[in-house]
Amino acid sequence: MITIIGSGKVGGDAALFSALKHLDDQILLLDVVDGLPQGEAMDINHMLSEQGIDVQVTGSNNFADMKGSKIVVVVAGSGRKPGMTRMDLLKINANVVKSVVENIKKYANESMIIPVTNPLDPMAYVTYKSSGFEKNRVFGMGGMLDLSRFRQFIHEATGHSRDSIRALVIGEHGENMLPLPRFSSVSGIPLSSFLSKEKLDEIVQNTKQVAAKVIELKGATVHAPGNAISAIIESVVRDRKQVIPVATYLDGEYGHSDVTIGVPAIIGKKGVEKIIELDLNDEEKQAFDLGVKNVKEAISGMGI
């Protein structure tokens, strides 16, 4: 069973995409709001019935119902409002995540946890430290969402098929994220063969800022994060061993320790099976280190 804690728009979409991909026969939506997960589950099941997809989505307000879950996604917490940064949510959501993790330990102690709650990197750290799980079993969704936006901007700039585009974004899931044009390509051809440095710089800036723009226009980002969650789950349950940027705990990698931040990793049935250390140039390393500094300051402010 896959459990998604938090049945708002992103949690609901994560359940929907996971069901459409048939990632498990049972998907549980959990929420503290009476009726919300039940109604969301009903709505999704009605669609699945028409599609002929035999996945059962259930909704509950009882954490005990997640017993035996193999994967638990944590979306619970307050979302970003227009004008807010992800870090503005820090203190609001830290206590929510701690409480949720205590229930995961109680009822799904053998699971893998995918934190999604913002600010993602500090919340992934809270999840890892509060759970006591091995570090390969806690990995946050951040870079997978960011690279989807990066790919769209590359598509718009080049006109090439989205399917041929490969992109990579690491670092902090926030204003200090690090889109990597040097490690991105179109059918294996470096982006620099298609786009000028000025255009690449513009795409990088747009990738960093577009989430705030979406929130300004429609109030929340929904479909892209929901899909990103399901993509990470798929790599686990089908043991695809995809290289995916996830927020995972560093213990010397990239020259940093005791911090959780986005890095490329091989994701398979054991979770984070290997962290891939890229040979960053001076400019890239400076940007990555700035993200680490920001996340460490946030972690320090929580007093963990």
Mean pLDDT value of segment 92-121: 94
For the cut 80, the answer to whether the pLDDT of residue 81 exceeds it is no
Band of pLDDT at residue 87, cut at 50, 70 and 90: low
- The residue ranges of every structural domain in the chain are 2-141, 143-302
pLDDT at 301: 75
State the amino acid at position 74 in one-letter form.
V
Q: How confident is the prediction for the chain on average, in pLDDT?
A: 94
Q: How far is CA 115 from the centre of its chain?
A: 7
Give percent of the chain with pLDDT exceeding 90.
87
For 142-176, give the DSSP string. Answer: SHHHHHHHHHHHHHHHH---GGGEE--EEE-SSTT
For 197-243, give the DSSP string. Answer: HHHHHHHHHHHHHHHHHHHHHHSS--HHHHHHHHHHHHHHHTT--EE
Mean pLDDT value of segment 42-57: 97
pLDDT at 82: 75
Listed residue (254, 294, 275) closest to 172, CA to CA: 294
For residues 41 and 3, give the distance between their C-alpha atoms in angstroms, rounded to a whole number: 12
Mean pLDDT value of segment 85-109: 88
pLDDT in tens, 286-303: 999 999 999 999 998 776
27, 53 in Cβ contact below 8 A?
Answer: no
For the cut 80, the answer to whether the pLDDT of residue 89 exceeds it is no
State the amino acid at position 83 in one-letter form.
G
Q: What is the dihedral of CA 275, 231, 210, 206, to 10 degrees?
A: 50
Q: How far is CA 4 from CA 97, 122, 231, in A?
A: 13, 19, 14
The superfamily in CATH containing domain 2-141 is: NAD(P)-binding Rossmann-like Domain (3.40.50.720)
Band of pLDDT at residue 304, cut at 50, 70 and 90: low
For the cut 70, the answer to whether the pLDDT of residue 132 exceeds it is yes
Verify whether residue 46 is a known catalytic residue.
Answer: no
Mean pLDDT value of segment 113-118: 95
- This prediction has a pTM of 0.94
Determine which one of 46, 160, 173, 223 is catalytic: 173
pLDDT at 86: 58
Mean pLDDT value of segment 244-268: 97
Q: Please enumerate, as own/partner, the contacts of 279-283 that have beta carbons within 8 Å and a separation of 24 or more.
A: 280/254, 281/182
For CA atoms 236, 214, 85, 15, the dihedral sign is negative
Could you tell me which CATH class the domain 143-302 is placed in? Answer: alpha beta
Which of 22-31, 84-93, 144-153, 207-216 shows the lowest per-residue confidence on average (mean pLDDT)?
A: 84-93
pLDDT at 303: 63
For the cut 90, the answer to whether the pLDDT of residue 261 exceeds it is yes
